[in-house]
Every structure is written in C-alpha cells, then in structure tokens.
Structure 1
Amino acid sequence: MSERISVMQGDITRVDVDVIVNAANSSLMGGGGVDGAIHRAAGPALLAACKQIVQQQGECATGHAVITEAGNIPVKAIIHTVGPVWHGGERHEAELLEQAYRNCLDLAAANGYRTIAFPAISTGVYGYPKEQAARIAVDVVYKYIGIRPLPEEVVFVCFDEENTRIYQQYLTQL
C-alpha cells in the first residue's frame, strides 16, 4: 500500500496527476505560498470559479474542501482546502488538519480521480510545525487509501528540501 504514496520536491502546478490540492485561505481568493502560485499558474478562470463558490456558499471553513476547474493548469480539477493556523496545538489544530486531508481525499474519490497531489498544508504562513503536519498528512492518507480504492496514487509535493526530507522519513516508516 505504501507504494501508492510518494513524495517529490517541485512545483505542484507541474505535476502529472488528475487533481491537485490548494492550501487555500477561507476567502479562496488567492494569497501567498502555494495558494498564490496555483492562482498565478491557473489564471483568471480559477479566481472566477472561486468567486462563484464563495457567492453560493460563503467562505470555506477551516478543515473543509471545495473543488473547482483548473484553469490553465493541466489537471482535471483543483481541490481547495483551508488548513488550520497554528496556535500551539490547543485549538484542535490536529483534528482540523486531519479533516482537511480527509475532505480532499473524499472529494477526489467522489469525482473518480485516480491521482492526487498535496502540498504541505498549513506549514507556511499558517505556522504549523512541519514534522507534526507531515505525520498527520502521511497517517491520514495511509489509513484512507488502505480501505478505499480511490485515489489510487497520492503524491506529496514539497516546495523545499526540508519538507521533502521530513515526508520521505515518515514514508519509510510505513
């Protein structure tokens, strides 16, 4: 089963998968880090799709996920999730981060997507400790794909060397 999970360092907007995950903010209007990179790569169609979702259902709550078209990124869709801001671990951050990963996997499976790429959710400006976030991500994905056929393959796409090393370390422990 661990052969269904991999890690790579690179640009999530250039990964050959069915769907990528955006570590979004609750407004879905783009921001810094991976969110800004995805919005820049996808172009105005993504912003328009996000605005439509916010008009229909309001902002995206922490731990929740929504799906949109991909604009100029060559994937079938983008799943946007809002990870928790780190406040020392006393505000249910771990549960919210688990929920964010599970909701993304549920959306991917419900739409029949075979392959999905995740960034390191909440570890940038949201300040989640990288090792704790990686452990949660790997554990949630490992348990999820252990009992479900989809997605068939999950790729953790890390922007930097440090996160790549951390994810590789946890994957070898599976």
Structure 2
Amino acid sequence: MSDPAGKQPYHHGDLRRALIDATLEAIAEDGLDGLSLRELARRANVSHAAPAHHFRSRAGLLTAIAAEGYHLLAEELERARGEDVTERAVAYLRFATTRPAHFAVMRAPELCLTRDPEYLTARERVAEQLLHPPDGTIALAAWALAHGLANLLLEGNVQPDPGSDVESLARALLRHLA
C-alpha cells in the first residue's frame, strides 16, 4: 500500500526475499563495498527500518545470502555427484559464473556471521559434495582449480577462447589432473 503523499509503503508481500533480491542486484551492479541497509531498503521500496524485521544487521543479511548460495551450489553439485571430480568442478564453476553475486558473498566470510547454524549447515553440505571420498586430494585439486578459474573469469583476467565456453575451458584444464 503506497501512501498518496509518496511515502514508502508500509507492507511488503515478502520483505525477506525482496531484500535478498535487492542486495544481489546491488552486488551485481556495484560489488560488496558500500552496501548499506538503508540503500537496500530504498531499492526494495520499503522504509529504512524495515530490514531490521528480518535481518538485524548487514552481516545478518549477507549471511542469509551466503547460506542461500551454499544451498544452491550444493544442489548444483548434487546433480553432478555421480560424475567424476571434473564434473563436480565444472558444476562449481558454472554456479560461480552464473551467480556471481552469491559467489562474491560466499567468498567474503569476514562479512558474514560464520557461526550462524544455517550458514554452517549449507557450507558443510557443499564441502561434502566437493571433497567426496574416495577422491581425496584430486577432489581438492579440482575444487581449487575451479575456484581459481572462477575468480580469474569473474575478474576479467581470463576469457575462454573464441568458439569455446567456460565449461569446456574448465574440462580442458581439469584433464591435466588425471
């Protein structure tokens, strides 16, 4: 409901989701620096005090985004679980490059409440998928390569060859681990 005088609406259908989406959009546009709850409330078209109803702080909001990201990544990895470590690493890279805002928050644990139970559960779920026995150190090497490649791609330091794609590039690099 909007106030005829142009004030912020009092009620929002799904405020939690709206704030998460506004934050992901802001991160995609401007990165993590300078995020404020006040600006995110403005983007979500709610009062500046509204975010406190779901997130006590910026860290609480970023923790929720990181946990969501870890759950989404775990789902991606679970679809590749029956495959070898290469396909799990490719799934990791696919997630990182298609959800860069989630990935940015997940790579910034210093901005999150890392003892949050949902965050810990989601993060552990991903680790179980990536370090699936009996792959051992090969699984860790594949994860490290995928993580490094994801960062290089997202930073613009590496581009796939013309006519190729990110997944083909990852598979080509990961063949060297075998």
TM-score by length of 1: 0.32
Larger radius of gyration: 2
> Higher strand share goes to which structure?
1
> Higher helix share goes to which structure?
2
TM-score by length of 2: 0.31
